[in-house]
Amino acid sequence: MTTDTRTTSPTRRGTVPLLAAGVFVVGTSEFLPAGLLPLIAADLQVPIPAVGTLISMFAIGMLVGAPVMALLTLRLPRRLTLLGALAVFGAAHLLPVFVGGYGVLLVSRGIAAVACATYWAVASLIAIGTVDETRVPRALAALVTGLSLANIVGVPAGTWLGQRAGWKAAFIAVALASLLLFVLQAVAIRDRSSVPSEPLLRLARRELRVLTRPAALVALGTTAAFQGAVFCAFSYLSPLLTEVAGVPAAVVPLVLLGNGVGMLVGIRIGNRLVTAGLLVTVRRCLLVLAGALLLVLAASWHPVAVIVAEVLLGVATGLLVPAINGRIFQVAGTAPTLASGMNVGAFNVGNAVGPWLGGLAIAAGLGLRAPVVIGIGLVVLALLLTQLSRALERPGLE
């Protein structure tokens, strides 16, 4: 991966939507096994908890793969890295189709996760290279929109296909979509940023020096705390709705849809808020997120009120997406490549830690509202980190 963040491609106006389409595909795959767990378990004759390990394997692959691959590909052209990641990602979905067994499926999910993390990291770099600095948060938010659409459209569609034609059909569909995007991106994306000539180890040391500065580490911690808060509350949404608020189980998918649409609306609004400055916007939007979680907590006694609160929570989450993604690149300065990988890693730390904390609270007998309370606590942690970030701020950074 190159270190220059600019591209002069004449087709750059269509680059970000095309990259977002790739995020849609990899995002669909990331969450797809959750809807196919019973089918996979029955076909491979393994218990459902064992199949659930597929989700953990993907999270681990993303967490480890993002920063490692960012470093290993520092001297490779971004376009080559992007296309290579797509090719490996598609192949990883065909492997368990033609080679049976749970072990093969588990390994293939790990490979797909590393490829997914690599795609995310390099797609972010190419996306920010198509715009000027003031529009970087908007370009990154466009990629996250692809992930939101994956949850709203891709995962339900993949689950529907798997239920009717078998889980392998859903995996084949992901592989075919990857192939289509490989062709489209090979034709349309022309990243012309220069490839650094200095040795890989020197490049890696330089980027590591920047990314291990307190300001960068605090920014990454803020991202992890934010994502942990959202996923802690969201992971236990279904039982909160049905067992606490009395929402019919048949309505839960519609609530999830409303939350996803709310997030898309929030992203669009968040794009307009970043003009106030990234750190200021992150702080303000974290306060809104805390308010939304408090509203969910207060409304959890009433079915209609909690549905409205969950949609508003989606909006509040989306508000943060442009600013919190743009912030790490602002702090990273001359180390955008590793920053991209570390940013993906920070989100996955939140994805893992948030639900884990929520599960511990429920197992301790604190009830199904406890994950929301923990989510509020994690938002408070993120706010404290933004205050620390403000104290560490260099003059003229914002």
Contact between residue 159 and residue 29 where contact means Cβ atoms under 8 Å apart: no
Domains 12-196 and 203-392 share a fold: yes
- What is the pLDDT, as a whole number, of residue 148? 83
CA distance 195 to 213: 25
- What is the pLDDT, as a whole number, of residue 127? 86
The pair of three-digit structure tokens given for residue 283, joined into one six-digit string? 């702080």
Split the chain (398 residues) into runs of 10 and give each run's mean pLDDT: 45 79 91 80 81 78 83 81 94 92 91 92 84 79 86 85 90 96 90 61 69 84 94 84 87 85 90 83 95 95 93 94 86 74 85 86 90 96 94 62
The residue to which tokens 């330089």 are assigned? 206
Amino acid at 252: V
Contact between residue 186 and residue 15 where contact means Cβ atoms under 8 Å apart: no
- What is the pLDDT, as a whole number, of residue 395? 55
Contact between residue 71 and residue 207 where contact means Cβ atoms under 8 Å apart: yes
Which residue, 30, 48, 52, is CA-closest to 38? 48
Neighbours of 47 (CB within 10 A): 9
Q: Count H helices and E strands in the chain, helices first.
A: 15, 0
Q: CB burial class (10 A; 0-12, 13-18, 19+) of residue 117?
A: buried
Domain boundaries, the chain: 12-196, 203-392
Residues 13-27, buried b or exposed e (16+ Cβ, 10 A)? eebbebbbbbbbbbb
Contact between residue 321 and residue 260 where contact means Cβ atoms under 8 Å apart: no
- What is the pLDDT, as a whole number, of residue 370? 93
Please give the angle made by the CA atoms of 110, 112 and 114, to the nearest 5 degrees.
70
* 230 alpha-carbon distance from chain centroid: 12
Which residue, 95, 72, 99, is CA-closest to 84? 72
What residues contact residue 345 under an 8 Å CB cut-off, 6+ apart? 62, 63, 64, 66, 67, 117, 220
The pair of three-digit structure tokens given for residue 12, joined into one six-digit string? 């750059």
Contact between residue 140 and residue 326 where contact means Cβ atoms under 8 Å apart: yes
Assigned fold of 12-196: Growth Hormone; Chain: A; (1.20.1250)
- What is the pLDDT, as a whole number, of residue 345? 84
- What is the pLDDT, as a whole number, of residue 136? 80
Q: Dihedral of CA 34/369/346/255: which sign?
A: positive
CATH code matching the domain that covers 203-392, chosen among 2.60.40.10, 2.40.40.20, 1.20.1250.20, 1.10.10.10: 1.20.1250.20
